[in-house]
Amino acid sequence: MSNTQPIRHRYLPMTPADQEEMLGTIGADSIEDLFADIPKDVRFQGTLPVSSALDEAALLRHLKILAGRNADSERYVSFLGAGIYDHHIPVVIGHMLSRSEFYTAYTPYQAEISQGELQAIFEFQSYICELTGMAVANASMYDGATALAEAGALACGAVQRRRLAVSQGVHPEAREILRTTARGLGLEVVEVPCRDGVTDLEALRAAVTPETAAVLVQSPNFFGCVENLRAIEPAAHTHGGLLAVSVNPLSLGLLEAPGRLGADIVTGDAQPLGLSASLGGPTCGFFAVTSALMRRMPGRIVGQTTDREGRRGFVLTLQTREQHIRRERATSNICSNQALLALGASVYLSLMGREGIAETARLNLHKAHYAAGVLSRIPGVSLAYGSPFFNEFTLRLPEETDVPALRRSLLQDGYLAGHDLGSADPALQGLLLIAVTERRTREEIDAFARRLEAYL
């Protein structure tokens, strides 16, 4: 190398020499010239309030300080649910996910060299079908909320109608995503109220018309209550519409599969199946349908086949997304599945087996009901609803309770005290959603009850 050539840095490409070369290529004299078209009076003047450059050691210290501000379920006793739960995660899952052949794989575009990846996805699909009682599952979705929105879009396309009836027992964030999706597709969303924590059947029957494409419910729902799918199913199908159910997959260790109760589409989030809460995500959604709806599914499906020599193999069978078919015929614009997290869920299900899932679900049920009994005996505290529940339930606190302040106080004592339902809807002020998983011990529940009573 000539001594006159500028020194290039292998890992930091934006050296002054690089900048000079790029500016020269586009004919600019300085970085300032790049912003010449933006009026100076709308541009930030001065220095941004950030620190100076840090070396690696200093940066690591800074990031650890920031991470230490998080209240995670390893340092706090968690009664927080509402979609993301503190479940036990077998250590082997992390080991499997960190194997380079899985960890570095993106999506299996090169099917002929991704047989292991394709088999893992095929097994995820098979597990989801068995859990939900449905005929076909896809290779996963981004998360449970977006999967439910996709269910609404699928239903409208399948029955050629533009109205959706969604229960207010569906998580409010999922309903918001559904409304956003519906707005883009020109669909109408009608919300059905709840009574005693579950979908009001009379209101549902009144909301379903010959224009309704589908009824969307969640069970266990946002209030923790188990919906009566046997009663909802006839109402959903009265005028030829579909029934879409969002479920907690772990609850299906005890509850009847929605597919055996008449559901046409079953969605949900696989986070309870051995996936880390990760402070809110990422997670992995699942999506399952009847055979009649298979060709309308979003995302991709992996199928099992044999080659010319009779050897077992796996292939990408259906991909009704706009990258693979004409845009106007695409059923969705979902681009990627959550292959690594779907693998984690598959490993969890393979480890637990049928009996393990049932036993874990049973632990969730019993511990949650024990906690509900202990907490509802605190003076002024009661269960808000009388409907059956799985591992979440809603407490009604004394009328004058400042719920956010109460949660802050309990946090200082080491408890993630549950979800303040008033933060989602002002009409739900004074209600606290409590989640109890298999990780909670009787001592933790009793101690939490004592601290809660002390603050009320």
Which domain range does residue 265 map to? Answer: 91-348
Domain boundary among 330, 348, 366: 348
Domain boundary among 348, 370, 398: 348
**Does 105 share its domain with 235?**
yes
Q: Would you say residue 450 lies in a domain?
A: yes
pLDDT tens digit string along 231-254?
999 999 999 999 999 999 999 999
**Average pLDDT in the 346-367 region?**
97
**Does 404 share its domain with 275?**
no
Q: Would you say residue 382 lies in a domain?
A: yes
Domain boundary among 348, 383, 407: 348
pLDDT tens digit string along 219-230?
999 999 999 999
pLDDT tens digit string along 308-336?
999 999 988 887 665 566 666 666 777 67
Q: Identify the band that residue 50 occupies on the pLDDT scale cut at 50, 70 and 90.
A: confident
pLDDT exceeds 60 at position 28: yes
**Does 162 share its domain with 282?**
yes
* pTM (2 d.p.): 0.88
**Does 209 share its domain with 304?**
yes
pLDDT computed for residue 204 by the predictor: 98
CATH code for position 240: 3.40.640.10
Q: Helix/strand/coil (H, E, C) string of the chain? A: CCCCCCCCCCCCCCCHHHHHHHHHHHCCCCHHHHCCCCCHHHCCCCCCCCCCCCCHHHHHHHHHHHHHCCCCCCCCEECCCCCCCCCCCCHHHHHHHCCHHHHCCCCCCCHHHCHHHHHHHHHHHHHHHHHHCCCEECCCECCHHHHHHHHHHHHHHHHCCCEEEEECCCCHHHHHHHHHHHHHHCCEEEEECEECCEECHHHHHHHCCCCEEEEEEEECCCCCECCCHHHHHHHHHCCCCEEEEEECHHHHHCCCCHHHHCCCEEEEECCCCCCCCHHHCCCCEEEEECHHHHHHCCCEEEEEEECCCCCEEEEEEEECECCCCCHHHCCECCCCCCHHHHHHHHHHHHHHHHHHHHHHHHHHHHHHHHHHHHHCCCCCCEECCCCCECCEEEEECCCCCCHHHHHHHHHHCCEECCEEHHHCCHHHCCEEEEECCCCCCHHHHHHHHHHHHHHC
pLDDT exceeds 50 at position 1: no
- Per-chain mean pLDDT for the chain: 92
Range with the poorest average pLDDT among 111-115, 135-139, 174-178, 194-198: 111-115
pLDDT computed for residue 79 by the predictor: 98
